[in-house]
Every structure is written in structure tokens, then in C-alpha cells.
Amino acid sequence: MNDKLNQSAGGATTSSEKGDLSAGEASSRRNFVKKSALAFMAGSILPQFSAKSYANILGSNEMINVSVMGVNSRGKALAQNFAAQNNSNVIHICDVDSRAITNCLTALKERQTVEAKAYTDFRKSLESKDVDVLVVAAPDHWHAPASLIALEAGKHVYVEKPCSHNPSEGEILVKAAAKYGKIVQMGNQRRSWPNVMESIQAVKDGAIGRVYFGKGWYTNNRPSIGIGKETAVPEWLNWDLWQGPAPRKKFKDNIVHYNWHWFWHWGTGEALNNGTHMVDLLRWGMEVDYPTQVSSNGGRYRYQDDWETPDTQIINLNFDDSKTMSWEGRSCNGKPIEGSSVGVVFYGENGSLLIPAGNSYTQFDLDGKIVKEVENTEVIDARNKSNPAEKLDALHIQNMFDAIKNGGSLHSNVDSGHKSTLLVQLGNISQRVGRSLEINPKNGHISKDKDAQKLWSRNYEKGWEMKL
């Protein structure tokens, strides 16, 4: 896929280069830097400058330069979050929607002094030696292919969950990270939330005894997406590049933006959209990797429309060592479970432990009485589609930066991210073939089911095949 980096593509649409300074401006800048550095070393901070401003002034080599791909919703929130960090700048944003580019550029001006360049095609951004990290927040069918292209270009990757559209892509991404020696962090941000980390450690340390069952869930009240009509592609959208690796389909007016989640061609349904987070917590706390058996029940029940993936789904996963877990998704009935729209419960021999939507947890004894309660410290809206927990998510970003700069350990490396993603992918495959799947617990592969094995990968648009 390296040749893709050399194809013609949409170029920069706006820019303010650091190098475009007159001699006078350069001289003034040098004097300013000198004075500011002295002030910083003396332990004082000029009142008109933030810590972010000083980080920019005192050495760009200490800053991590970020390019963000897909900035309409979640990507815009991520761009703002990366821009707000004292040790990074968002120098590029990339989107096939010109409106999203305009909106994101405006939002970034509130977070950083550096003016980002904008690209229609993220591959042009990757040609720049100044880019250290690609943040992938485009639709699911882009997550693994874009990450691979970035790795081939020598960049680190922060990829939103799920890390892949199908199991084969996840396996390729794991191999690619090892081959190119770059950091790949998946955006299951709860892995970096302090109280969640504490709760998982408590489960591992035996706070509720041996854990044998875990339950996760997500609930919402999503409306119908209706019946789409084939229409002309809007002038603000590059529909061909939006589809990218996916085989071409005609544009319909109920796909872009967000509704692509509910089409198998581009999306992965609620199971991977939100279930990935909760199943990841269960897998983490129960210390399991690959299951032995997976089943799924559900369907599109609430409305008669173009929505293909289940709006109601229960995925069950059995593991060796007498452990099992389930995930319940209700996209169109928002009644909470355990008082929360999203969460997990671990059940052990001596009690249970609940992690709801936020950065909190509650431990119970076998009679349901509270043993320990750790409260949330940040306001979190689990149903916010773009930015439910910015301050806490910044901890996940800083964990990645520590791995890049200091060799620190990632909270969610691509191998771990792939394993958690695979569990819900297997649930979706079971759902689509209509039967339980037998799984090889050594590698997560489907056994003795040719129809199910066909869904291990996908068809690609010619020239966009994902391979090492």
C-alpha cells in the first residue's frame, strides 16, 4: 500500500507556516524566546501566556506533532483534546467534508496558537516529516487501513475503537505495529481513567473472590434513520475518498454522517460502537483473551428502515477456566441497568463490583450490601456521541505520549485492543450467520464453520486491499 502515499490527492486548503517570517519578525521572535526562556528558568510565568504557550516557545523538539483524520464529530473533539495538551500541537487536520474542516479549524484556534494545515486526503499529510502521530477518527471501515498506511509512513497511531472493521484487519494491524516498530494506541480511554484502573486492579487482586461472570451493557433512544434516497453527492463531500477501502456504493442521503454505523458495509453496529468499551473492561478484569464459544441473539426490531445491524443484541462469550461474560445492547430503549446507561458488573464468589458510566465503582458483598464506594470526580455523559469525558481521556493521550517519548507502557496497545475488538466482532459474526460459533481459544479463530469464516475479512475496492 506504499504506492498510495504517492497518488495525487486533495492538498492543503489553509496554512500558516512557521518558516514564513520576515528578517525583522525572526529577530523579534529570537529576542522574545530568549526573554521567555529566562523567565521560565527563573520559575516565573508571564501572565499573558499559558503553559501551552511556553511549551511551544521553549523547544518544538519536545512537542509531539499530530495529524487528525476525520474531524466531523468525535475527531473534532479529539483534535481539540490533543491541541489542549501542553506537549503536543495539532499541525494537520484531514477530512473529506469541507464543512468539518472549517469547523475544526475554528475550534482549534481556542486551544492552540499553531495554525493547522487542512487536507482532504490524509495521505498528503503523512508525506510531511513533521507529523509524529496520526489520529484515526474516520468511520470504522477506515480504522485499520488508515492505521496501516500511517505505520508504513513511519508514524505512530492513535486509532479510535474499534481498531478494525473485521478480525483479519486487526491481525494485520498487530503484525504491522511489530514490523514498523511504532506505537499504536486504541481509544478505549477507560483503560486510563484512575478509578476504573483501581477497580480493575481490585478485581484482579481478589476483592470479590474468584470472578466467574461479567456483564456489560449500553442503552440509548436512537431514532429511525428512515429510508435513504439516492441523490447527488453534496458539493462539500468527497464521496469516493469517504468510501476509501470499501467497495463503491451510490450515495444515499441517510448515511453521512453517523448513520454509517448501522450498515455492515462501513460500520460495525452498536456492539463495536459502544460494546467494545464494556467488553474490553470485562476482558481486562477477568484476565481472559480468546473465548471457546460465542453466540448472539437480537435484530433490528424497533423501526422498519435502512438500519441493518441489530438495535437489540445480547452477545454471550464462554472462556476456559469456568468464566463467561455477556454484553447487552439496546439502541432504541434507553432504560438504564444498575442506574446507568452504560457499565459493567463483575460477579465473584465473595461479591460483585459495578463500574457504571463514569470514573467510579462500587463493591458489594453477596447480599448486595455496599462494601466500598469510590465516587466519580468528573461529569461524564456516556450518550454524548463526540466528547463524553475530555479531561479523563487526556490521560489516555498522555499515556501514549509517555510511550513515544520515554518508552513507557501503553494502557491499550494494539494487541490488547485487537483482542477486545475481536470478542464483539465474533458476536456480530454469530449474529449474521444465525448460530453459535466454536472458537479456538489459542488464537480466537472460528472453527468448522465456512460461512462464518467468510466474514473474517471483507472485500475491498480494487487497489485498496489491506495487506502487509
- Number of residues in the chain: 468
Task: Match domain 192-389+414-456 to its CATH number in 3.20.20.80, 1.10.645.10, 3.30.360.10, 3.40.50.11540.
Answer: 3.30.360.10
Distance in angstroms (rounded) separating the CA atoms of residues 422 and 358: 24
What residue spans define the domains of the chain?
2-138, 192-389+414-456
Q: What is the pLDDT of residues 355-382, one digit of tens each?
A: 999 999 999 999 999 999 999 877 666 6
pLDDT at 244: 98
**Can you give the chain as a three-state secondary structure string?**
CHHHHHCCCCCECCCCCCCCCCHHHHHHHHHHHHHHHHHHHCCCCCCCCCHHHHHHHCCHHHCEEEEEECCCCHHHHHHHHHHHCCCEEEEEEECCEHHHHHHHHHHHCCCCCCCCEEECCHHHHHCCCCCCEEEECCCHHHHHHHHHHHHHCCCEEEECCCCCCCHHHHHHHHHHHHHHCCCEEECCHHHHCHHHHHHHHHHHCCCCCCEEEEEEEEECECCCCCCCCECCCCCCECHHHHHCCCCCCCCECCCCCCHHHHCCCCCCHHHHHCHHHHHHHHHHHHCCCCCCEEEEEEECCCCCCCCCCCCEEEEEEEECCCEEEEEEEECECCCCECCECEEEEEEECCEEEEECCCCCEEEECCCCCEEEEECCCCCCCCCCCCCCCHHHHHHHHHHHHHHHHHCCCCCCEHHHHHHHHHHHHHHHHHHHHCCCEEECCCCCCEECCHHHHHHHCCCCCCCCCCCC
Q: What is the pLDDT of residues 192-219, one digit of tens each?
A: 999 999 999 999 999 999 999 999 999 9
Half-sphere exposure of 467 (CA within 13 A, CB side): 8
Q: Closest Cα partner for 392 from 184, 162, 194, 112?
A: 194
Tell which phi-psi region holds residue 337, choosing left (phi > 0), alpha (psi between -120 and 50) or beta: beta
Q: Closest Cα partner for 288 from 363, 213, 338?
A: 213
Distance in angstroms (rounded) separating the CA atoms of residues 329 and 315: 9
Q: Closest Cα partner for 296 from 310, 311, 279, 315?
A: 315
The rounded percent of the chain whose pLDDT value lies above 90 is 83
The fold adopted by the segment(s) 2-138 is: Rossmann fold (3.40.50)
Distance in angstroms (rounded) separating the CA atoms of residues 451 and 429: 9
pLDDT at 390: 87
pLDDT at 386: 54
Taking a C-beta distance cutoff of 8 angstroms, is the pair 108, 100 a contact? no
Burial class (CB in 10 A: 0-12, 13-18, 19+), 231: exposed
C-alpha cell at 58: 521553549
Fill in the amino acid letter for 342: V
pLDDT in tens, the chain (468 residues): 444 333 334 444 433 333 334 434 433 433 333 333 333 333 333 333 355 654 544 344 589 999 999 999 999 999 999 999 999 999 999 999 999 999 999 999 999 999 999 999 999 999 999 999 999 999 999 999 999 999 999 999 999 999 999 999 999 999 999 999 999 999 999 999 999 999 999 999 999 999 999 999 999 999 999 999 999 999 999 999 999 999 999 999 999 999 999 999 999 999 999 999 999 999 999 999 999 999 999 999 999 999 999 999 999 999 999 999 999 999 999 999 999 999 999 999 999 999 999 999 999 999 999 999 999 877 666 665 556 678 899 999 999 999 999 999 999 999 999 999 999 999 999 999 999 999 999 999 999 999 999 999 999 999 999 999
pLDDT at 50: 52
Q: Closest Cα partner for 180 from 16, 33, 1, 313?
A: 1
pLDDT at 382: 61
